[in-house]
Homo-oligomer: A and B are copies of this chain.
């Protein structure tokens, strides 16, 4: 990996932080740079990631004087539960953490969300360090401070905005991802391109085979560009009162797919890929644009398993109404004006929603 300048996330109020694309072994140096002096730290990870990356990280930290405590959760969405959170609290408080004890989240979105929420709420807030190892986490979820767990009523309904002190992305970890996790992550990459960077969308389309093959220089560029876009949007609107909402492009539809199909049938990325098909159709209905053909072609390149066509449209529409992005009881959608520009709208008819679902099913 070639060294690149860190991406800064300027939040003000003493909470600015940097996103570094560097090898995981650089963690001790970057912790020190972020003002975290060697002491004790908590590393939270899952069993899959632990087998690959825990030992080298722990060795690097211990060599720099850190005392490392490790907590390993089972891989998968089911770990974003109140039971796992309670176990994490009991473990951390039993160790005698203090307010200078950092929590290092080593893994994908599940580990980042769970460990991040624990960091947000232990002693009213411990320093959080995100060490994302999946594409979805490196390009999206590890940046921006959203943390949380699931509730039987829906995903991510309990959580907090808690910014990391540091994000360290090692793109080399992406080469151990399964094929499905890689292509699922690409959905969020395509999403940021479509909503905010037309040139990046063209770049992706032009080298899609190299993207699928994970050609190392393409992987590093793709992560760098996605993370930069995400960081910029988050810095403009940390608490999602305005512009940050565009990051939910495809998500109102996608969350409904996950909820109705059952979590696990589609990955999050696959549900978002399908959701973007629906959202693009909705965008066409509201204001047609010639760039939508290219947008649809790019989204169509994201592999998704079959099954959406067999799900009832009424059930999908009903599931959307419990989405937490509702605003004063009203459902909102993210639509494109053209590739690279998105906006929020609540001005959508039931017919347009039904047509959008049909388009996603038939694509």
| Residues of A in contact with B (beta carbons under 8 Å apart) | 12-13, 37, 39, 82, 86, 89-90, 93-94, 96, 98-100, 120-125, 146, 148, 151, 153-154, 156-161, 239, 322, 324-329
Q: Given A98-B326, A100-B328, A124-B146, are A158 and B89 neighbors across the interface (CB < 8 Å)?
A: yes
Task: State how many copies of this chain the complex holds.
Answer: 2
- Please report the C-alpha to C-alpha distance between residue A213 and residue B179 in the assembled complex, in whole angstroms: 74
- Please report the C-alpha to C-alpha distance between residue A123 and residue B94 in the assembled complex, in whole angstroms: 28
- A161 to chain B: which residues have CB within 8 Å? 124-125
- A125 to chain B: which residues have CB within 8 Å? 160-161, 239
- CB pair A160–B100 under 8 Å, yes or no, is no
Q: Given A86-B82, A98-B326, A324-B99, are A120 and B160 neighbors across the interface (CB < 8 Å)?
A: yes
Q: Given A12-B13, A89-B151, A329-B39, are A122 and B157 neighbors across the interface (CB < 8 Å)?
A: yes
Measured CB to CB, the closest approach of chain B to A346, in angstroms, equals: 12
From B94, B123, B154, B325, give the contact of A324 (CB < 8 A).
B123
- A89 to chain B: which residues have CB within 8 Å? 151, 157-158
From B153, B326, B328, give the contact of A94 (CB < 8 A).
B153
- A324 to chain B: which residues have CB within 8 Å? 98-99, 123
- A121 to chain B: which residues have CB within 8 Å? 121, 148, 158-160
- A156 to chain B: which residues have CB within 8 Å? 124
- CB pair B98–A124 under 8 Å, yes or no, is no
- Please report the C-alpha to C-alpha distance between residue A325 and residue B93 in the assembled complex, in whole angstroms: 13
Q: Which residue on B lies nearest to A158, using beta carbons?
A: B121
Q: Which residue on B lies nearest to A321, using beta carbons?
A: B96
- 17 A-B pairs within 8 Å (CB atoms) are namely A13-B13, A39-B328, A89-B151, A93-B153, A98-B327, A99-B327, A100-B327, A121-B121, A121-B148, A121-B160, A122-B157, A123-B159, A123-B324, A124-B159, A125-B160, A125-B239, A160-B160
Q: Which residue on B lies nearest to A162, using beta carbons?
A: B160
- A93 to chain B: which residues have CB within 8 Å? 151, 153-154, 157
- Please report the C-alpha to C-alpha distance between residue A121 and residue B113 in the assembled complex, in whole angstroms: 13
- CB pair A329–B160 under 8 Å, yes or no, is no
| A-B residue pairs, 7 tightest by C-beta | A93-B153, A98-B326, A124-B159, A100-B328, A123-B324, A121-B158, A93-B157
Measured CB to CB, the closest approach of chain B to A322, in angstroms, equals: 7
- CB pair A158–B13 under 8 Å, yes or no, is no
- Please report the C-alpha to C-alpha distance between residue A86 and residue B153 in the assembled complex, in whole angstroms: 13
- A326 to chain B: which residues have CB within 8 Å? 98-99
Measured CB to CB, the closest approach of chain B to A355, in angstroms, equals: 26
Measured CB to CB, the closest approach of chain B to A304, in angstroms, equals: 28
Q: Given A123-B157, A124-B160, are A96 and B322 neighbors across the interface (CB < 8 Å)?
A: yes
Measured CB to CB, the closest approach of chain B to A155, in angstroms, equals: 11
- Please report the C-alpha to C-alpha distance between residue A39 and residue B326 in the assembled complex, in whole angstroms: 13
Q: Which residue on B lies nearest to A159, using beta carbons?
A: B124
Most B Cβ at <10 Å: residue of A86, A123, A124: A124
Q: Which residue on B lies nearest to A98, using beta carbons?
A: B326
- A122 to chain B: which residues have CB within 8 Å? 157-158
- A39 to chain B: which residues have CB within 8 Å? 328-329
Q: Which residue on B lies nearest to A147, using beta carbons?
A: B124
- Please report the C-alpha to C-alpha distance between residue A146 and residue B239 in the assembled complex, in whole angstroms: 19
